[in-house]
Homo-oligomer: A and B are copies of this chain.
Amino acid sequence: MPKLEKSDLHGHIRAALDAEASTDVRTLVSDLHPADAANLLESIPPDQRHLVWDEVGLDVMGQILTEVSDGVRKDLVQAMDPQRLVSAVRELDIDDIADLIPDLPEEVIADVQLTVDQSARQNLDAVLSYPEDTAGGLMNVDTVTVREQLSLAVVLRYLRLRGELPEYTDKLFVVDRDNKLRGILFASTLLTSDAARRVRENMDDDPITFDPMDASEDVAAAFERYNLISAPVIDDTNTLLGRITIDDIVDVIRQEGEHTVMARAGVPEDEDLFAPATRTTKGRALWLGVNLVTAILASWVIAQFEESIEKLVALAVMMPIVASMGGNAGTQTLTVVIRGIGVGTITGSNAFRVLKKEFLVGGLNGIIWAIAVAAVATFWYHDYGLGLIVAIAMIINVIAAAVAGVLIPVFLDRAGIDPALASGVALTTITDVVGFLAVLGLAALFLL
């Protein structure tokens, strides 16, 4: 019964690709679940990727396209015949088509819109009218609706006539003749209640609902908080527009986590592992350029003290330690604060408390590592004065790091800038500049 032998299957396919055994590749690929096929396509270089893609059946192509990362999707879409692409895409759910649209060529979009039926086209237009990262962008239109005056027995009969239910149908939506939402009826209620009773008596008439413009991370938080599997999206006239399901929420949560990690390192989220080196270099260049500017700024500070370094070259040896410890301690604070802002435990009203606490932690850390680094300096150079200067510089820099680690993300967040993206560069600029300045400046003032 275990269906988790993905890695074995991937291994066999990779081996068959390397051996250029195309018949084996075809047989093996046809066994892959779409999600596993997507994973495989991301883990092989473009030439092999296109070989595998040619073996994928038209019936699962659309689904695989929705599952692969943005970078790989672009690569596959570019290489595809437009007519095949239209056929692969138009069988998908409306919300999935909407997700793919930004990556499709214009002619394909027009063809897809022409070939889906009238109601699907209206639904597609509706979903496309909302930004991708909102409830409207997440929603699907496959709602099952019932009327409140019916008996549960009639609803059950209706469902039997209807046949299969859409995935994640844990509740039906109760609407009036104008499609206004009146409440929700849980599938489990249908299964456990007296069939003679009416929908009205068994429905929840105050369910959790979303507005199409709600931010997707707020929707995800509500799904977690209220243990939802699906939830209705309604407009401000209470009209049912669609529903959001837990699978899309899981994607949102997964992406939130990846976004933080990728953004902090300055890597584009849609980076294709096997894109040409030139494209990858280009995607990462801006970030490195920004970092170069900050590194030059820090070096400019050093350049102001060339005379001091000439007199006491030990300063050049000790200053990177002070800068580096500030950077590391500050990154710890930064990480905690960015997380707190993200999950909502740090807000404007308690940020000052966090600052006070991190200031204390910085002071304690500063003293501990000041002693350590003073010991190293004195041991290496037998110079108590140098040890003292470096120790004081360490305390100053670690405290500055703690303060910057709180203030930078709080201010960026307030300014509407994603703290995960910009905080790290700003922090290390401060800890480098303060670290170098403290060591060299104090030495120039008191030692030389």
Contact = CB atoms under 8 A, between A and B. Distances in A.
A119 interface: no
Interface string A146-172: 000000000010011011110111100
A224 to B, nearest CB: 6
B287 A320 contact: no
Contacts of A363: 277
Given A165-B188, A368-B285, A218 B274 contact: no
A295 to B, nearest CB: 4
Interface in A258-277: 258, 260-262, 264-267, 271, 273-274, 277
Given A257-B254, A285-B368, A299-B317, A266 B160 contact: no
Given A257-B254, A292-B369, A339-B262, A346 B273 contact: yes
A114 interface: no
Interface stretch (A73-81, A87-95, A244-252, A408-416): A244-252
Contacts of A256: 257
A281 interface: yes
Interface string A11-46: 100100000000000000000010110010011110
A21 to B, nearest CB: 16
Integer count of this chain's copies in the complex? 2
A336 B165 contact: no
Contacts of A436: 320
Contacts of A299: 317-318, 320-321
A213 to B, nearest CB: 12
Interface string A218-248: 1000111111010000100000000000110
Interface in A311-359: 313-314, 316-318, 320-321, 323-325, 328-329, 331-332, 334-336, 338-340, 343-347, 349-350, 353-354, 357
A345 B42 contact: yes
Given A302-B316, A332-B266, A369-B288, A353 B227 contact: no
A278 interface: yes
Nearest to A337: B273
B43 A281 contact: no
B365 A281 contact: yes
A277 B264 CA distance: 26
Given A225-B36, A260-B257, A192 B277 contact: no
B335 A262 contact: yes
Given A187-B188, A191-B191, A292-B372, A229 B168 contact: yes
A403 to B, nearest CB: 14
A72 B278 CA distance: 48
Given A35-B225, A188-B165, A191-B191, A320 B336 contact: no
Contact of A209 (B2, B164, B278, B334): B2
Contact of A295 (B206, B287, B320, B357): B320
A101 interface: no
A368 B225 CA distance: 48
A193 interface: yes
Interface centre among A159, A227, A261 (most CB of B within 10 A): A261
Interface string A175-216: 000000000000110111110000000000011110100100
Contacts of A234: 1
A357 B246 contact: no
Given A39-B345, A250-B224, A260-B257, A163 B192 contact: yes
Contacts of A162: 192
Ranked nearest first, the 5 interchain pairs of A and B with the lowest CB-CB distance are A257-B257, A277-B360, A265-B335, A43-B345, A316-B316
Interface of A: 1-4, 6-7, 10-11, 14, 33, 35-36, 39, 42-45, 156, 159-160, 162-165, 167-170, 187-188, 190-194, 206-209, 211, 214, 218, 222-227, 229, 234, 246-247, 249-250, 253-254, 256-258, 260-262, 264-267, 271, 273-274, 277-278, 280-281, 284-285, 287-288, 291-292, 295-296, 298-299, 302-303, 306, 309-310, 313-314, 316-318, 320-321, 323-325, 328-329, 331-332, 334-336, 338-340, 343-347, 349-350, 353-354, 357, 360-361, 363-365, 368-369, 372-373, 376, 380, 428, 432, 436
